[in-house]
C-alpha cells in the first residue's frame, strides 16, 4: 500500500532482459532510503519487490505482465522514475490509497498554463471512464493527483510547481506515456453494486441479485 506522495526520483542504471522478465537497476537520488530486502517499492506507480542493493543502486525484477501493462517495459537507461516506499502502519496518508497495481497506460495529449499551475490532459482507455470522477483521485506514474475534469476518454489534472520539481512530471511531454491507477475504492464499489452471484454465499442478494436490484425492490 502506498499514498502517491513521491519520496525521491531514481534514474535507471541498467535493464537486463531475461526470459519474459527484466531486472531493473535504479540509482536513487538519496542515500537515506531504508528499505529491507523483500520490501515493496513503487517505481512510477508500479509495486515491485526490492531484491538487492549495491552502491546506492536498487534492483527489482519486473515480470511479463508488468512489462506489458505498464511503461516499465519501455524504460531505457537514463530514464527517471518516481520512487515511494510502502506506507508504514503509523504513517500519514497525505495522498490516497495507492496499491501499485497499474490499470492502464495513458497518453499525454495537452498541457496548458493556468496561473502558476499546468493543467495536463491525459487520454485513457474508455473502459476506465467509470472509475474517474471530477474531484476524485487518480495515481499517475505513482503520483496522487486530483482529477480537475473528465470526459469520455480524457482527464485533466492540475500540476503545481512543487509537483514538477519533486517528481518526473517536468520531464514528460506531449505524446509520452504514463501509468494510471484508478482509485481502488471506486473499483470495489462497482464490484459490490454490480456483482451477481448464484447464492448469498457468493456475495449477492437472496435471488442472486445485485445491490441495485435489491434497492429497486425496496422502492429506492
* pLDDT tens, position by position, 65-98: 999 999 999 999 999 999 999 998 888 888 999 9
Question: Among positive and negative, which fits the CA dihedral 68, 187, 81, 106?
Answer: positive
Per-residue pLDDT at 149 exceeds 70: yes
Per-residue pLDDT at 197 exceeds 90: no
84 contacts 7 by C-beta, under 8 angstroms: yes
| pLDDT value, residue 89 | 85
Q: Which residues contact 87 (CB under 8 A, 6 or more apart)?
A: 1, 2, 3, 93
Query: Per-residue pLDDT averaged across 155-167, rounded?
Result: 95
From residue 42, give the alpha-carbon distance in Å to each of 11, 53, 106, 109, 209. 14, 16, 18, 25, 38
| Enzyme catalytic residues | 2, 40, 47, 49, 64, 101, 146
Using DSSP, how many helices (H) and how many strands (E) does the chain show? 4, 13
- Torsion angles phi and psi, residue 165, rounded to 5: -70, -40
Domains of the chain: 8-85 (2.40.30.20), 104-188 (2.40.30.20), 192-220 (no CATH)
| pLDDT value, residue 220 | 62
Query: Per-residue pLDDT averaged across 183-212, rounded?
Result: 69
| pLDDT value, residue 211 | 64
| pLDDT value, residue 32 | 77
Return the HEC string of 40-80. Answer: EEEECCEEEECCEEECCEEEEEEEHHHHHHCHHHHCCCCCE
Q: Specify the pTM.
A: 0.87
| pLDDT value, residue 207 | 53
Amino acid at each position: 500500500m502506498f499514498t502517491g506522495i513521491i519520496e525521491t526520483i531514481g534514474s535507471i542504471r541498467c535493464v537486463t532482459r531475461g526470459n519474459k522478465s527484466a531486472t531493473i537497476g535504479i540509482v536513487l537520488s538519496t542515500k537515506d532510503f531504508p528499505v529491507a530486502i523483500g520490501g515493496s517499492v513503487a517505481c512510477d506507480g508500479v509495486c515491485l519487490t526490492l531484491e538487492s542493493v549495491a552502491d546506492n543502486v536498487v534492483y527489482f525484477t519486473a515480470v511479463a505482465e508488468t512489462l506489458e501493462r505498464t511503461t516499465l517495459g519501455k524504460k531505457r537507461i537514463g530514464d527517471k522514475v518516481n520512487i515511494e516506499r510502502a506506507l508504514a502502519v503509523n504513517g500519514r496518508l497525505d495522498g490516497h490509497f495507492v496499491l501499485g497495481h497499474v490499470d492502464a497506460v495513458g497518453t499525454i495529449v495537452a498541457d496548458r498554463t493556468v496561473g502558476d499551475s499546468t493543467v495536463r490532459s491525459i487520454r485513457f482507455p474508455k473502459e476506465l471512464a467509470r472509475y474517474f470522477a471530477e474531484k476524485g483521485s487518480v495515481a499517475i506514474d505513482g503520483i496522487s493527483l486530483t482529477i480537475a475534469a473528465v470526459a469520455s476518454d480524457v482527464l485533466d489534472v492540475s500540476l503545481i510547481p512543487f509537483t514538477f520539481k519533486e517528481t518526473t512530471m517536468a520531464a514528460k511531454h506531449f505524446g509520452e506515456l504514463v501509468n494510471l491507477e484508478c482509485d481502488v475504492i471506486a473499483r470495489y464499489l462497482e464490484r459490490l453494486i454490480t456483482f451477481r452471484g448464484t447464492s448469498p454465499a457468493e456475495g449477492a442478494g437472496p435471488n442472486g441479485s445485485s445491490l441495485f436490484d435489491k434497492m429497486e425492490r425496496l422502492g429506492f
